[in-house]
Amino acid sequence: MMLGLTEPTSGQAKVLGLDSTRDGLRVKKSIGYLPEDVGFYEDYSGLENLLYTAELSGLSRVLARAKALDLMQRVGLGDATQKLVSKYSRGMRQRLGLADVLIKDPQIIILDEPTLGLDPQGVDELLALIRRLSREEGLTVLLSSHHLRQVQEICDRVGLFVKGKLLAHGNIQDLSSSLFTSEPYVIEAEISTAENPVKHLRVVLQDIDGVLSIDIQGRVLRISCAKNVTADIARVIVSCGVDLYHLSKKEYGLDDIYRHYFNDSNDLP
């Protein structure tokens, strides 16, 4: 709908102030789109595919070639310009897809499941490239993905859709703070298990400003806090003569946030 490829049943979709249904051509000129399945001419080289797209976008042959070569270098395909696309790996195709998206200097790029089917190294490389495009070159990147950890790694703002409804949007820290108000911070500490020091430790930890509750399971303390008092907890444990083996602060991520909304979505129509 944002690209003007299909019409909404109701409402409007606006991109850069333009109605994507009424001004579809103008919207398409300003947006680069990388679909989940990238299609190229298999019997063309990577460079030839880019030149074809560039000329369709109205670039002269001289400018198109210079720009295509530069983009292939930027996406890490400088050594594969003359290689047939039929010989490209999945990761190389995704990189070529990004170059194809950028050839017309879009103001916004939309990426649909860009890491699907890539090996871990390919995922890391592609995410680093997307991050660079956004943060170093000032491009607005709209990323659609079911891989929430990847989204959390590179996105400044997120929107969560459940059953076709946008239930939440904002940055992850704000969403986490608003959802998990009862215990915004959970700190886990692994300690030695001498019984008497642990009993004394519970009393002393409870006196720390911000500590809400303490649950002790064997050698592990699970401390719920209203604010981040990790340093105070470490200091108290050591001062009580208890060995501290491990200390970590649980942070609610996008998986936790999505699970919250998904579990509460049964009432949605």
- Digit-by-digit pLDDT tens for the chain (269 residues) are 888 888 888 888 889 999 998 898 889 888 989 988 888 999 999 999 999 999 988 899 999 999 999 999 988 899 999 999 999 998 899 899 999 999 988 999 999 988 888 888 888 888 888 888 888 878 899 998 888 888 888 888 888 888 778 888 888 777 776 776 666 778 899 988 655 567 788 889 999 998 988 888 888 898 988 888 999 999 999 888 888 999 988 777 788 788 877 776 555 44
According to the model, what pLDDT value does residue 269 have?
A: 47
Let me know: does 96 contact 53? Beta carbons within 8 Å.
Answer: no
According to the model, what pLDDT value does residue 243 have?
A: 87
CB atoms near residue 182 (< 10 Å): 9
According to the model, what pLDDT value does residue 180 have?
A: 67
Which residue type, as a one-letter code, is found at position 106? P
According to the model, what pLDDT value does residue 129 have?
A: 85
Between CA 105 and CA 100, with CA 39 as vertex, the angle to 5 degrees is 15
Q: Please enumerate in sequence order all residues whose Cβ is within 8 A of that of 197, keeping only pairs 6 or more positions apart, or say none.
A: 240, 241, 242
User: What does the block give as tokens for 53?
Assistant: 């797209």
According to the model, what pLDDT value does residue 195 have?
A: 58
Give the integer Cα–Cα distance in Å for 159 and 162: 10
